[in-house]
Amino acid sequence: MKYYNKFLLGAISLVAFASCADNNSLDFTPAVGKSDSLVKLSYLNNYDVLKKYVDRTANPNFKLGTGVDASDFSSKGTVYALTVGNFDEITAGNAMKYGSCVADNGNMDFGAVKKFVSTAKDADVSIFGHTLAWHSQQNNKYLNSLVPNSERYMHITTTSVGTKPNPWDWGITYNLDSPLEVGKSYTLSLSAKSSPGTTVWFWPSCSAGTMYLNPQFSVGTKWGVYSITFTPDKPIDKLSYEFGQLNGSLYLDNISLTKDGSSTNLIVNPNFDNNDISRYSKPSYLNFTYAIDGVIPTKILTDQEKKDTITWAMGNWIQGMMNACKGYVKAWDVVNEPLSGVDKDGDGFYDLQSATRGTVSDNDASANFYWQDYMGDLDYVRTAVADARKYFVESGGNASDLKLFINDYNLETFWDHNQKLISLISWIGKWEADGTTKIDGIGTQMHVSYNEDPIKQKSQEDAIVNMFKIMAATKKLVRISELDMGILDANGNKVLTPNVTDAQMKEQAAFYQFIVKAYFDNVPAAQRYGIAQWAQTDSPSTTGAWRANEPIGLWNGKYDRKRAYAGFADGLAGKVVYPAE
């Protein structure tokens, strides 16, 4: 039987369903496998969908995965049909990362994640979660605001001993420029701590009366973030914070008021940077004082306070993500890319990436947020693992189903003799040394290139085989997490898609086959979690695209199968010799 190359016969019914959603006109011409002016590759017509090449009897738990844009998949169009037809599991490119879900004020929006999970569940496709803890694509503005080295803030101090009988016996009011709109949704968020702990009531008001909202904020002795969403039933022009139970000091900072999900803050001076206190007022008879930095000493958190605050932030994030997934996502990159490529302390193993210890560039240090710099090298990972296991169960998952991976890149490199992988395994031993932390598997990102220099290519192939053997020796699950492949000419230059030759495509296909087959040859069946092809199609030439204008996919930009498709399928099937067509 011949198979159509766009999505193949096994996916035609899915495409027909998907086309109702986006009205795409899909071309189901027979496979020609062409790349611009290259010869027709009719042998590609004879291949089945990729997932059919996995021996499920020998590999009952193996998952053939791919990376997708969550919104593209959820729209049930082209990407959806191609994905469901060929793969068992999907990984969102960005939608499940911290920076995609957490706003500048700390509010979390998991709408896209929930839609992605729902769509995958309906299609009976599993999701590999990517990622819970990482230094890149974080909301740096929000996280850095939690641990400022120096910042103004409001300090409220009672001047008489003991709490008052009523919340309103002590309070402070912020005066807005213009009234809030009745019937619209607003979210107030603020950072606060108190000594000792206390309760703060938030009661928006105006001349027409006060909104007595619940719940109140139970403010602890360490900095935390508190928020409430409300819909005014009056033209609110004052935001009142009442704290009649305070018996000591209350600190307020990072105050944000947004409307209907907008990022525009209606608070003029959320961090008191201009020492502006004129917008705040209190009844003259209330016996307490308030001031802004310049009178009160600068807020500098101790290292332990910073650790406690960031530990809370990580837990809050992981809890939110797990609640959004409701136990459906059973495998995760719990920590992504923790290792640097340098050994600063001379112990023979690469150190963790860090903005403070010289293991990353100055640009990376300023652009990213390194959780480990606040939580410590051990507790960073141990906390992420513990939070993931705790909140997975609380969100409805079965504890025994959850698999947590450490994912990193350059584990297959020949120039350091797999030293990064060896270092990662050493770190895993340290993280698990507490007897509680358990890391189930290792993910290897393989953003590789076929190298037309035969010596370098052979070294690369040997290092890949060695990587799989080293990973297998850990007895942990082994996953190729982000496989895609470019091409380097004999001088080490990237070959761009418009310039690729048919001979180079054959070389690429053979290398795809080599990698996939090497995985099955060197990783025992019980440890084979799966392989994820990261790029389905060749990369577009647009600025900012991943590996822009490189021929990294199994399909070209028109969703025609490439020789790489056959190489990948033959690797799954365990074939030794690549087809000579």
For residue 60, say if its preceding peptide bond is cis, omega within 30 degrees of 0: no
For residue 131, say if its preceding peptide bond is cis, omega within 30 degrees of 0: yes
pLDDT at position 413: 96
Q: Quick one: tokens of 277? A: 């206190």
Q: Give the global pTM.
A: 0.75
The C-alpha atoms of residue 114 and residue 343 are separated, in whole angstroms, by 41
pLDDT at position 37: 34
The C-alpha atoms of residue 401 and residue 29 are separated, in whole angstroms, by 42
pLDDT at position 348: 96
Q: Walk along the chain (581 residues) in steps of 10 and give the mean pLDDT of each run.
A: 38 34 29 37 91 97 98 96 97 97 92 98 98 97 82 74 70 90 92 88 91 84 88 93 84 87 79 68 64 46 90 97 98 98 96 94 92 97 98 98 98 97 98 98 98 97 98 98 98 97 96 98 98 97 93 95 96 83 63
Residue labelled with tokens 């389905």? 536
pLDDT at position 300: 63
Contact in structure between 564 and 509 (CB atoms under 8 Å): yes
The C-alpha atoms of residue 219 and residue 203 are separated, in whole angstroms, by 16
pLDDT at position 112: 97
pLDDT at position 355: 93
Q: What letter does residue 40 receive in the DSSP assignment?
A: P
Q: What letter does residue 186 receive in the DSSP assignment?
A: E
Q: Collapse the DSSP code of 403 into the 3-class scheme (helix H, G, I; strand E, B; otherwise coil) and give the result.
A: strand
| HEC assignment per residue over 35-97 | CCCCCCCHHHHHCCCHHHHCCCCCCCCCEEEEEECHHHHHCCCHHHHHHHHHCCEEEECCCCC
Label residue 253 exposed, middle or buried (CB < 10 Å: 0-12, 13-18, 19+): buried
192 — phi, psi (to 5°)? -155, 155
* Nearest residue to 108 (alpha-carbon basis) of 353, 417, 423, 322: 322
Q: Quick one: tokens of 216? A: 């109140």
* Nearest residue to 87 (alpha-carbon basis) of 68, 57, 63: 63
Contact in structure between 206 and 237 (CB atoms under 8 Å): yes
- By 3-state DSSP, what share of the chain in percent is helix, strand and coil, each rounded to 5? 35, 25, 45
Beta-carbon-side half-sphere exposure of residue 117 (alpha carbons within 13 Å): 19
pLDDT at position 19: 28
Label residue 48 exposed, middle or buried (CB < 10 Å: 0-12, 13-18, 19+): middle
The C-alpha atoms of residue 177 and residue 266 are separated, in whole angstroms, by 9
